[in-house]
Amino acid sequence: MIRGAAAEWPLIAAARRSPADALGHLGGLDTGQPAEVMIAPPAERGRFFYRPDMRGFNFKRDKASLSQLAGHLLQIADQSEPIGIYAGAVPAATHAPRLDAENPFPLAAGQPSVETRLWLGNATQVATHFDLSDNFAVVALGRRRFTLFPPEATENLYVGPLNVTLAGQPVSMVDPLAPDLASYPRYAGAEALALTAELGPGDALFIPTLWWHHVQATEPINVLVNYWHNDVARGGGFTALVHAMLAIRDLPPPQRKGWQSWFDHFVFGEAAPDAAEHLPPHGQGINGPPSPERDEMIRQFLLRVLAS
């Protein structure tokens, strides 16, 4: 965590004066383009999740511009039991294109394939999930509590469906704010590895790729700016994982054991990058070291195999 990393932002200065001033600054950057807004009834207390029967979600989706959402948040800020409402991962490039110029974040500026995104809402929770990119998260208004779990906690997080998700990435079925250990007893092992961070305006947090994180916004109005970078192409390892579930997971144990040896040799073993060193460079094919040519060769090979 980096305290005060964005303390000099005009947006932060406006947030110090009042939420209305911060939203006014944001409104001045707004292009008016509609963004997707998620809305949960008051009884959900800001937790966006599946319905109890897993047949759908406990929220609905609508559209609004950043300015329209900001105005609504001001209207409901004093309600004791408001709806849960937020717009998440809104691209600054299309919805607030001057944000980066007026509120620069040098730590992200030099990163490859960086994308600036906005999160605007009230006291809501983003369920425990992971991203396929590295991330800098900067609180601009309100407060946020992050609970992070390393990738090795995955087996104890009770991962939900990989293909039916709340907003793109699979989530943990456990609520870290009220864990049901009777239903999810292994979560105690994940909890033992958890890290927490409380961020206020101007504070930043780096979240590495594949690290699980639960995000709780705690004030009546909250703004977060995040910077995804180093994103993987075409789903990266996640796509390979899903295909391995189809191709390997349900095989007889001896075959699974055999494929595990293959994966260790070509993918996970320390010597995997040198698995083709016994072949001349022109004969290594897709076994060879990384290059744009090799990557394209692999893609074409997979397309032929999957299409056959």
Instruction: Write out pLDDT tens, residues 173-204.
Output: 999 999 999 999 999 999 999 999 999 999 99
For residue 223, list its beta bridge partners. Answer: 120, 141
DSSP for 97-143 reads: TTHHHHS--HHHHTSTT-EEEEEEESS-EEEEE--SSEEEEEEEES-
CA separation for the pair 27, 12 (Å, rounded): 14
Which token pair is 115?
Answer: 């994308």
The reported pLDDT for the residue numbered 234 is 67
The pLDDT, as a whole number, for residue 113 is: 87
Q: How far apart are the first and last CA of the chain?
A: 49
| Coarse DSSP helix, strand, coil percentages of the chain, rounded to the nearest 5 percent | 35, 25, 40
What tokens were used for 178? Answer: 């009220």
Residue 283 has pLDDT above 80, yes or no: yes
pLDDT digits over 20-61, tens only? 999 999 999 999 999 999 999 999 999 999 999 999 999 999
Using the Cα atoms of residue 186, residue 188, residue 193 and residue 199 in order, give the sign of their dihedral: positive
Q: Provide the pairing of β-strand 35-40 with 84-91.
A: antiparallel
Q: Which domains does the chain have, with CATH numbers?
A: 10-231 (2.60.120.10), 235-307 (no CATH)
Q: In 60-99, which ranges are E strands?
A: 60-64, 84-91
What's this model's pTM, rounded to 2 decimal places?
0.92
Q: 198-228, pLDDT tens digit by residue?
A: 999 999 999 999 999 999 999 999 999 999 9
Q: What's the DSSP call for residue 175? A: -
What are the b/e assignments for 124-152, b being 16+ CB within 10 Å?
bbbbbbbbbbbbbbbbbbbbbbbbbbeee
